[in-house]
Amino acid sequence: MTLAQLKYFCMAVRYHNITEAAKALFVTQPTISIAIRDLEKEFSIKLFSGSGKHLTLSEEGELFYAKASDILRACDDLHAEFSNPLSTWRRVRIGIPPLLSTVFFPQLLDAFRLEHPDTWLELNEYPSVQACDLVLDERLDMALVSMDIHNIDKFSTHLMLTDTLVFCVTKHHPLAGLDTLDLRLLHEQPIIIYSRNSVQNLNLQARLDSLNVSPRVVMHSSQAATILNFLRKGDCGCFLFSSMLPQYPELKGIPADPPIEAHVGLVWKKGRYLGAGTQAFLDFCRKVDIEEKLSLTDKRQT
């Protein structure tokens, strides 16, 4: 295993395509393919599931990607710290789940950077549970997470948004005509479930179990593009944040009855000293109210 192999693999994951990853890295496509093949051979695992132009991580691949990303970030940190120890940049390491990153966060970051051009925000994609663990281990400074996590009392918190999970389907799905969804209708229905260790998945599963409802899970995924491609086929649905719907006008979101609320916010380790950059970002988020965050999302879609 080499750092180059890990870099090639991670870039292929980010682009979901070997050809695009090769272009971004200015290497040939076979270079990427060989690196992935050698990693699979060395560790006796299959990093991607299925085949085709759009790459999708296997379960082992998701775990490997998280570890490989950590290694590459550690190398980048080492280089940044010791190659330029007098740098005036203030770095903030923030964990963010893939789906939450599509709600209002990108526009919020743009606004923050305008006010604080000397602060470097380093975003790292992790499910909420894993992001919280990394915050406790001090490998992340803070994380944007679903705050319904079981050990939320271990963190200092700032609530950013209260959203709802809605069952998203195409307009020709058999349930598309419903105004609200009785979860019992999902028994043996094909659905896509967000990552296995995500907070919203755990909470949703608890709600379904209480009703003795067993949907037919066709896939677990944390990739919004992959989920959307499956939904477009029209025979399955997926619970997504209602704030995501403006991005996908082809989908209809059906709220559950009773509603499934999701509380989204920033968490950081209790008692830990916050650096100047981290404190500046937290202060900035505190002064932006929920309505403004949502308006930022709306503007980003227009």
pLDDT number for residue 289: 62
- Whether 166 and 212 map to the same domain: the answer is yes
pLDDT number for residue 222: 74
The answer to whether position 95 is within a domain reads yes
Nearest to 262 by CA among 147, 154, 183: 147
The answer to whether position 78 is within a domain reads no
pLDDT number for residue 293: 53
- Whether 14 and 30 map to the same domain: the answer is yes
pLDDT number for residue 51: 64
Nearest to 19 by CA among 9, 27, 29, 11: 29
The answer to whether position 76 is within a domain reads no
pLDDT number for residue 280: 92
Which of 20, 35, 69 is the endpoint of a domain? 69
Go through 156-194 and write b for each residue having 16 or more CB atoms within 10 A of its CB, e for each that does not.
ebeebbebebbbbbbeebeeeebeebebeebeebebbbb
- Whether 133 and 19 map to the same domain: the answer is no
pLDDT number for residue 189: 92
- Whether 27 and 41 map to the same domain: the answer is yes
Distance of alpha carbon 284 from alpha carbon 102, whole angstroms: 19
Contact 70, 259 (CB under 8 A): no
Collect the ranges in the chain with pLDDT lower than 70: 50-52, 80-89, 100-104, 196-197, 289-302
* pLDDT single digits (tens) 66-82: 999 889 888 877 776 66
Q: Is the peptide bond before 259 cis (omega within 30 degrees of 0)?
A: no
pLDDT number for residue 171: 87
CATH at 283: 3.40.190.10
Contact 268, 285 (CB under 8 A): no
User: How many separate domains does the chain show?
Assistant: 3
**Which domain, by its residues, includes 120?**
86-161+264-301
* pLDDT single digits (tens) 118-168: 888 888 888 888 889 999 988 899 999 888 887 888 899 999 888 888 999
The answer to whether position 248 is within a domain reads yes
- Whether 146 and 168 map to the same domain: the answer is no
Note the helical H segments in 44-164. Answer: 59-83, 105-115, 128-136
Beta bridge partners of 221: 194
